[in-house]
Amino acid sequence: MINPHGSADLMPLYVSDQNEAKRLLEEVKSLPSLLVNSAVAANAVMLGAGYFNPLKGYMNLADTMSIAEDMKMKDGLFWPVPIVNRTNDISSIENAGRIALLDPNVEGNPVIAIQDVESIETIKGDQLHTITEKIFGTTDKDHPGVGTFLSQGKYLIAGPIQVLNYSYFDGEFPDTFRTAVQIRDDIAKKGWETVVAFQTRNPMHRAHEELCKMASEAVNADGILIHMLLGKLKKGDIPADVRDAAIRKMVELYFPADTVMVTGYGFDMLYAGPREALLHAVFRQNAGCTHLIVGRDHAGVGSYYGPFDAQTIFDSLPPDALKIKIFNADHTAYSKKLNKVVMMRDVPDHSQDDFVLLSGTKVRDMLAAGEDLPEEFARPEVAHILMAYYQSEAEA
């Protein structure tokens, strides 16, 4: 199986030993605590699950600036997006060497992790501007990722962590949330060697389904990992439980048995386009995948990124940066001429009118009105799940 990023073996930060976890929860009672923001909690989940291997915890300012500017840590490890613990209020933890991190996303704010505090540094305004510009390609506060990022705090708390739980993810999505450790184990049990990962924060329509099949066939894959984001999204995006149901129905009915793993991961969407695509590649390698599908405007939002920026950024990497390979995909759509889903780049003789294309707004309006989507665009069983959601939203 493909090696994890930066190490021979996966090194998740979740405390799996029950006795040790019990001891740490007892220790928590004597520690100062910090209520973290959602992004920090999601980082803890990803660190605990092994997705952010080989990191030991949250980064300091030197590594943060190095990653922003050069996509590598001070020790030379390739890394595309800083993994940090930021806050605006350090009054409860000043001079503390060890602190409890409280989860903002679970009622009662339980402890999600314990952190050894190696440093607390202040990010200056010009440094935050540089980090934001490099990671997101813009400092426009209307960009949903930028607005969230800028609000996360001026203090940077660095140091290793021990993760005690996976927040709400394993409780709310028991059949879907999987750690990188679990996915690797499942891949090994299935005997898969070549595995294609498909990232999604949306339901999968017919074009996405066919894209997975195209990529799998092109690389002669043993299996496909459909890996959906389960964390925080921007307003208007479809909730994870609805996406999960729709994707599972599609896989059940339209893929050969035992060729697809439907899973999810606990992270908040950044909408950082090219840089986020690189992060997606890192943690799919950690999950044991050999290939990642990178499509048109991967991890993008609005018109902040070019349609293929998330693909071309991989061309700028040193050859040893990642072991996972990228399957570059164009926009896919149903061709009326050929009566099948195709990549648009493969049919230069087609015009826009030769494809079945619907805007997101049009799809939402049709579903809310109870109108069936064209079968060339969406599988009817999938569309009906989405229709029920949009109609319930309209009635609310």
Residues 161 and 218 in one domain: no
Structural domain range at position 43? 18-170
Residues 52 and 31 in one domain: yes
Domains of the chain: total = 2
Choice among 3, 98, 109, 201 that is catalytic: 201
Residues 146 and 209 in one domain: no
For residues 281 and 289, give the distance between their C-alpha atoms in angstroms, rounded to a whole number.
9
The residue among 170, 187, 213 that closes a domain is: 170
Is 5 among the domain residues? no
Residues 210 and 151 in one domain: no
Residues 242 and 263 in one domain: yes
Long-range contacts from 124-130, C-beta under 8 angstroms, 24+ separation = 127/61, 127/65, 128/154, 130/65, 130/68, 130/69
| Phi and psi angles of residue 209, each rounded to the nearest 5 degrees, phi first | -55, -50
pLDDT at 359: 85
pLDDT at 360: 82
pLDDT at 236: 77
pLDDT at 235: 79
Residues 98 and 199 in one domain: no
Domain CATH code at residue 28 = 3.10.400.10
Per DSSP, the residues of 284-347 read: HHHTT-SEEEE-TTTT--TTSS-TTHHHHGGGGS-TTS-SSEEEE---EEEETTTTEEEEGGG-
Is 2 among the domain residues? no
Do the strands 355-356 and 340-343 form a parallel or antiparallel pair, or are they unpaired? unpaired
220 is an active site residue: no
| Phi and psi angles of residue 374, each rounded to the nearest 5 degrees, phi first | -55, 135
pLDDT at 121: 98
> CA 346 from chain center: how many Å?
29
Domain CATH code at residue 240 = 3.40.50.620
Choice among 109, 202, 248, 364 that is catalytic: 202
201 is an active site residue: yes
The residue among 120, 154, 170 that closes a domain is: 170
- Kindly tell me the sign of the dihedral angle through the C-alpha atoms of 297, 300, 301, 304: negative
pLDDT at 396: 64
Residues 142 and 164 in one domain: yes
* Residues of the chain predicted below pLDDT 50: none
Residues 128 and 211 in one domain: no
The residue among 143, 170, 197 that closes a domain is: 170
Residues 227 and 87 in one domain: no
Residues 155 and 298 in one domain: no
